[in-house]
Amino acid sequence: MSNQTYRFGFFRRKYHHAASVAPPEVKILFENYSEKGVMSVDHLLRFLTDVQKQDKATREEAQAIVNASSSLLHRNCLHLDNFFKYLFGVDNSPIASHAEVHQDMDDPLSHYFIFTGHNSYLTGNQLSSDCSEVPIIEALQKGVKVIELDLWPNSDEDGIDVVHGRTLTSPVELIKCLRAIKAHAFDVSDYPVVVTLEDHLTPQLQAKVAEMLTETFGDMLFAPPPGECLKELPSPEFLKKRILISTKPPKEYKESKHEHVVNKGNNISDGGDKNVSEGDEDEDDDEDDEVDQVTKSAAPEYKHLIAIQAGKPKGGMTECLKVDPDKVRRLSLSEEQLEDASEKYGTQIVRFTQQNVLRIYPKGTRIMSSNYDPLVGWSHGAQMVAFNMQGQGKSLWIMRGMFRANGGCGYVKKPDILLNNNAVFDPQASLPVKTTLRVTIYMGEGWYDDFPRTHFDSYSPPDFYARVGIAGVPVDTVMKKTKTLEDDWIPAWEEVFEFPLTVPQLALLRIEVLDYDMSEKDDFGGQTCLPVWELRQGIRAVPLHNEDGVKCRSVKLLVRFEFV
């Protein structure tokens, strides 16, 4: 194929008339809901009700669609081209385009999954990247509602740095991080921000932290009355525009000097709980008797600011998971600890999370800031599944997919099965199928606009295929794929997939598009992840995102969703 023919092929394929590229099923539906090739407002209203399952659609809404999609030549009605334009339009998204918070936000904080960051100050890997307030701002602007800060004495031991201790990461001053949190905490929603602190400070420096927190956040800070512990966490609604501090009750400052270098006595790749690249290693040896012994010397003004106390009591997992009716607390487990505990203590973990907060964090060997399967934590009721937000990959796509729910406010109500005291959910149990999601992948478009002509293949159009599946509890989790379509910028797969779901309340739909490459790794063409319980039925335009999670300018799929 000559370059001239190749370029003409691009042009011709891109500007095909809608009547020729529209999927056959779409053409048939248009014929069924139109008369003599014309779809009136009343025809469209019937389509919205019957096919799109928009039971509350009004004639005014149908009229607005017609007004937005009709041409100058055909006002107040839709021809096939205009109908196709509506289907691929921005307002025909798979979840409500302008979704607002719609879940009940008046329950205790423990009843919600919360968008949670891990080592929120790191710009890159866990071992040698810079620490900065910039990734904190970026996380908050993406909807993250739990920010983690590791506190260490500065080099002069008269101030506080935020740094991944005992690594080569460069520090950032605590005050910069606090000011960034104050400025951007509520950029996405007014629901509360929790700041989790990993504290390696002397009582004198803890007093300085208390002063900084009080002066920076002022009335934004929420804390229980002095000397009291919360018996139940307040609701996200009650805590709007508030910032909560969560940390362990202060411990003794065991060493006089902590240099921010790699501890040569530890192997950074041994995967143990005390791994130096694991910022939460001090969570592992909390004991009630030790806390009682040392907090007497801790700065009282610092202790009084702790809204959610953290720590592990001694005595093993059974003691860790005991529920105290007079006190709520936060427990932290690594992803490996959770996986081990879930085999024996699954229902106890779920019961614990009905009142208390469980935070899961990445294992220490994830030096490159990779992430893990968040569904393990969510299916056990863990509210804070902490992720390295500066990473990439499937796990982070799933995390972002979960928090597209509930208007993207950073809080998603846990399903009732995780909150039932009388019949505690067993994540390991075999359950009957509750519903089946049918997904029809019709076609895709937009790569021609968003990518250079030779991005996928040097001498021919791309060979696209789509992967579609479910991220959920183990029995629901699956990925399937379409056929590969050769040499086509506007692939039309027209394939149907069915996904039986036992726990649809924890299921997320994953879609990826790749360009098949015979000799190398397949090229990435876009992805999305969507909460199944918020999918709008009918034929929808599904925008795809790049590997960093940024929505592509033009790339989208035409997909039909049905619950059968």
Contact call for residues 263 and 166 (beta carbons, < 8 A):
yes
CA distance linking residue 61 with residue 69, whole number of Å = 12
Six-digit token string for 432: 């009957």
Whether 165 contacts 255, CB under 8 Å: no
Count of residues in the chain? 564
Phi-psi region of 555 (alpha: psi -120 to 50; beta: other; left: phi over 0): beta
DSSP H stretches of helix in 437-545: 447-450
Can you name the residues that pair with 531 across neighbouring β-strands?
508
Measured distance CA(195)–CA(73) in Å, rounded: 57
> What residues contact 211, with CB distance under 8 A and at least 6 apart?
301
**Cβ pair 222, 246 in contact under 8 A:** no
One-letter amino acid of 13: R
- In 10 A of CB 191, how many CB atoms? 26
| DSSP secondary structure letters along 371-383 | ---HHHHHTTT-S
CA distance from start to end of the chain: 46
User: d(Cα 214, Cα 197) in Å, to the nearest integer?
Assistant: 15
Q: What DSSP element (H or E) covers 211? A: helix 203-217
Which residues 6+ apart lie within 8 Å of 459 measured at CB?
A: 1, 6
Strands 243-247, 478-481: parallel, antiparallel or unpaired by DSSP?
A: unpaired
Q: Which residues contact 81 (CB under 8 A, 6 or more apart)?
A: 17, 18, 19, 71
Q: Are 471 and 492 in contact (CB under 8 A)?
A: no
Residues pairing with 440 in the sheet: 496, 560
Catalytic sites, residue numbers: 118, 164
Could you identify the residue written with the tokens 């791994």?
275
CA distance 240 to 44: 41
Give the side-chain half-sphere CA count within 13 A for 310.
27
CB half-sphere exposure, 102, CA atoms < 13 A: 11
What residues are paired with 146 via a beta bridge?
116, 194
For 282, which DSSP code? G
Q: How far apart are CA 34 and CA 32, in angstroms?
A: 6
Q: What's the token pair of residue 381?
A: 């009721």
The SS3 of residue 442 is: strand
